[in-house]
Chains A and B, each alone.
Chain A
């Protein structure tokens, strides 16, 4: 295990967050967040390069969602600084929202609108033209081509997550933040999430995936960050566990060996 700030070996280091433009996808430097008297994050420093996917693992309440929300600019850090593709998380929050997309723990959809209408709304909020072809293509990619006219409140949890994934596909963010993306998904849904993440990597974009189900993500992750009581450490992905194994098993074994939740 190594501390993520140890990734200074990449070059510019986490301290670049508060300075000039940095070509890293994500840089956090000593980010802390407090809710009342409770510290949810305690001095998190990390760095994620373009083309990388990081898995964020940890117990319930360990600070995973708080970290994602800070990266999404919906929460401000109490202390510390950070940037996404060189944009400061606080000063340039509006611009950061232009490059970040999030698949939240809740789908964030409107139940009394159809799947298609939810995507039309999303496109219009992104300032893009909402055509039937674009919406149909996004729904096709998540396996819901025939459900465009169905009211979202009549969908199962898995189908709602697929609509939320379609919205993320339309967004085409340079940094995707996924909170428990495998929850409610069947095997086909898991494959679609991983195909999406693999596509992001191929395009030089980046993603942070908070999950309790690391084996499902291990096919696409480059880094594993473990967070415990607001303290983040990086798990070495390459270190072989006792008895060897396939790459995805190696990640799982390393994290399980450290009591991940």
Chain B
């Protein structure tokens, strides 16, 4: 099957997932609501001290993305399990890699949309200087989200046919995400505090390496986890 055909299949899967979400908006509303609640609850737990809020903000933002993203990944495969759509999907000609890449694109777009709502809200709640490091921050959010979504989409496929998938997915996913989360939090924290030591660049390079490794490994292994 040609590269063009595979690209068409990837786009078709992403279009189908996003169109379904656009029609219902059920998942987006639920995920954004959870993200807002998480930000508020961390805010209450940390107390009114502005310095404490700012110091914790990078970690809180990424944990919020983590919790809300897991809901999105589960929903992504839930769609396929309804009415036997997964079996029909697996029966299309060609390799299953395009299914993974299509879902990766759809989940990436979804989580980035959630971030468009939650990150500005976090800036207000935690008094963050968002406008100054906006370009760098956007890059860190993108790189961190790619790594997170790459693993999330892969492990959600693995857990999709297990009865306790909602519980199992975080158990499988969160330990694997530690390197991405550490790098993303460090880069975000450095940017939000002015990056006087110039650490953000090296953390971003590390994030890029993680992204390449995770996406490549997931594409290669996906055929084995989605088949049976």
A residues touching B (Cβ–Cβ < 8 Å)?
Answer: 69, 72-76, 94-95, 97-98, 100-102, 104-113, 117, 121-122, 124-127, 151, 160, 164, 167
A72:B93 contact, CB within 8 angstroms: no
A172 to chain B, nearest CB (A): 12
A94:B228 contact, CB within 8 angstroms: no
B18 to chain A, nearest CB (A): 11
Cα A79 to Cα B169 with chains together (Å):
32
Known A-B contacts: A126-B93, A127-B1. Give 10 more (CB < 8 A). A74-B90, A94-B94, A98-B94, A112-B23, A113-B16, A113-B19, A121-B15, A121-B16, A124-B9, A124-B11
User: Considering the complex, which residues of chain B in the window 69-85 have a beta carbon less than 8 Å from any beta carbon of chain A?
Assistant: 79, 82-85
Which residues of the partner chain A approach B91 to less than 8 Å between Cβ atoms?
Answer: 72-74, 97, 100-102
Which residues of the partner chain B approach A101 to less than 8 Å between Cβ atoms?
Answer: 91
Cα A125 to Cα B79 with chains together (Å):
17
B127 within 8 Å of A (CB atoms): no
Which residues of the partner chain A approach B89 to less than 8 Å between Cβ atoms?
Answer: 108, 125
The contact of A109 among B11, B83, B90, B227, by CB within 8 Å, is B83
B94:A127 contact, CB within 8 angstroms: yes
B5 within 8 Å of A (CB atoms): yes
A124:B12 contact, CB within 8 angstroms: yes
A110:B94 contact, CB within 8 angstroms: no
B36 to chain A, nearest CB (A): 25
A125:B12 contact, CB within 8 angstroms: yes
A110 to chain B, nearest CB (A): 6
B88 within 8 Å of A (CB atoms): yes
B93:A104 contact, CB within 8 angstroms: no
Contact sample, A vs B, 30 pairs, CB 8 Å cutoff: A69-B87, A72-B91, A73-B91, A74-B91, A94-B93, A94-B94, A98-B94, A102-B87, A102-B88, A102-B91, A104-B87, A106-B84, A108-B88, A109-B83, A109-B85, A109-B88, A110-B20, A112-B20, A112-B23, A113-B19, A121-B12, A121-B16, A124-B12, A124-B15, A127-B1, A127-B2, A127-B8, A127-B9, A164-B88, A167-B88
